[in-house]
A and B are shown apart, each in its own frame.
Chain A
Amino acid sequence: MQDCKVSAGGIELGRSNCVSAIAFRGDVSGLPNQDFEILALPLLDPLYNFARWLCGDADEARDLVQETFAKALKGFASFRQGTNFRAWMFTILRNTFLTSRTGLEWRRTEQEDEENFEESAVTHDTPEIALIRRADTEMMRQAIATLPLAFREVLLLVDIEEMRYQEVADVLRIPVGTVMSRLSRARKQLREYIVVTLGVKHEM
């Protein structure tokens, strides 16, 4: 369930469960499909891109996006106007992914992923700016692809979708602190990949 702030007169009253707040809003008339189209169609490419990075397969990504749009259209009557539509769409896509075959498989193994990562992580404090400039797009893609999914999705939402940490936390249903630690690990691992691939010994 997505967390959101409830406030009045600028004072935060607390947190409530947005999904149930949406569902019981009482407004069942819904918004015209045209409004949905206007809001959702520009997100088609970003959602598909994210889906491809999640499941790594064109057919699966296509199905995932199709299902996301179907679910979103159905649920659009209950989408609360004034809230973040893009985050809402990404949340639906991500939740749909979690129930897919690849998503279930990932959830079964994600724990191992994170543990393995902890062990092999190398800290790079010195900027690798010259190396990053030498890394071409293909190498960067491979570097992103080697990231554990839990880190990759945070990195992509922050750096590609330019979401705020809080938005990412809402979409992935994790604390903001976790967003930050995964992001920094993701970036560390990218640096490591670049250093190793370009065959340069890292010297402190």
Chain B
Amino acid sequence: MKCEWRQDVSLYVDDELEPARQQEVAAHLRRCAECAAAVMEHTELKKAVRIAGRQFSAPPELHAGIGESLRSADVRPPLWRWSFVVLSIVAVAVLGFVLFSIPRRINPEIAELVDQHITTLASASPVDVVSSDRHTVKPWFQGKLPFSFNLPELTNSRFTLAGGKVVYLGQTPGAELLYEVSKHKISIFVFQARGNERAASLSNHNLAFTVNAWSQGGLRCYLVTDASKEDASQLASMFQAANRI
């Protein structure tokens, strides 16, 4: 006997079904041993292919050769590069000064997150998972954080995803996602909502950065950027839409 649902099994395992259909199939699997066995078999095969297929890594001389060709293609004069470095340091120092000279009346959490954003920008390796693909970045956080979240589709938008990393706010682990828009960087921080949620007070702060904060679906999110307020709220609403269930 062949169950009529069997045709959806490989789509289910490849995560290619619409979310509603995916749930229907999942419900069917609890009733149908035939399909459940087929899903297990597909999953095993997929896993076996993944393990066996990741066979080769680039030899060291290829790594070196590519690094060299990237450097030699770099046409920026050294002086320019140095001035860029100096300017960056000055900029970070100024921003740091602005930040710390700001009266403590701003929410200390927000101050910490702005600080984290600045640290990220100044870092030589700003993110730990480097990818513009949300299907790479989202799974990277699995197992690293006690919660999950969705990332917005950016195709046909002006935003790009640069990657992400795990950050701590006090003792609380969260995700920092780094985006870019017209050469400006945007950090979105995601934490698990706490029981006694109180909306962060953002009114009348004098920060050199735009900060948005919101809570949704058990998540506590903050956006920090020096991009325009319009860009900030656009990315924030895309992020909110992706996490609306």
Contacts and interface: CB of A to CB of B under 8 A. Distances in A.
Interface in B151-168: 154-160, 162
Given A48-B57, A84-B155, A132 B45 contact: yes
Interface in B27-71: 37-38, 40-42, 44-46, 48-59, 61-63, 65-67, 69-70
B62 A62 contact: yes
B14 interface: yes
Contact of B130 (A7, A42, A49, A65): A42
Contacts of A92: none
B133 interface: yes
A98 interface: no
Contact of A42 (B50, B131, B159): B131
Nearest to B52: A140
Interface stretch (A102-110, A112-120, A158-166, A195-203): A158-166
Interface string B96-126: 0000000000000000000000000000000
Given A44-B63, A66-B65, A159 B58 contact: no
Q: How large is the interface on B (under 10, 10 to 19, 20 to 34, 35 or more residues)?
A: 35 or more
A87 to B, nearest CB: 8
A137 B51 contact: yes
A97 interface: no
Contact of B70 (A48, A73, A141): A73
A184 B59 CA distance: 32
Contacts, number: 143
B131 A125 contact: no
B240 interface: no
Contacts of A156: 49, 53
B55 A125 contact: no
B54 A49 contact: yes
B54 A160 contact: yes
A38 B162 contact: yes
Nearest to A4: B155
Contact of B55 (A37, A132, A141): A141
A129 B50 contact: no
A86 B133 contact: yes
Q: How large is the interface on A (under 10, 10 to 19, 20 to 34, 35 or more residues)?
A: 35 or more
B23 interface: no
A127 to B, nearest CB: 3
Contacts of A70: 69
A144 B143 CA distance: 30
Contacts of A164: 16, 135
The 9 closest A-B pairs by CB, nearest first: A140-B52, A127-B41, A48-B58, A52-B56, A159-B49, A160-B53, A129-B41, A85-B132, A132-B44
Interface of B: 2, 6, 10, 14, 16, 37-38, 40-42, 44-46, 48-59, 61-63, 65-67, 69-70, 73-74, 76, 130-133, 135-136, 154-160, 162, 180
21 contacts: A36-B70, A41-B67, A41-B130, A44-B62, A48-B57, A58-B59, A62-B62, A66-B65, A82-B155, A86-B132, A86-B133, A86-B136, A127-B38, A127-B40, A137-B48, A137-B52, A138-B52, A140-B53, A155-B49, A160-B49, A165-B14
Given A37-B70, A66-B66, A73-B70, 18 more contacts: A7-B156, A38-B162, A47-B58, A48-B57, A48-B62, A62-B58, A62-B59, A65-B58, A66-B69, A69-B70, A70-B69, A81-B158, A82-B159, A132-B44, A132-B45, A140-B49, A140-B51, A159-B53
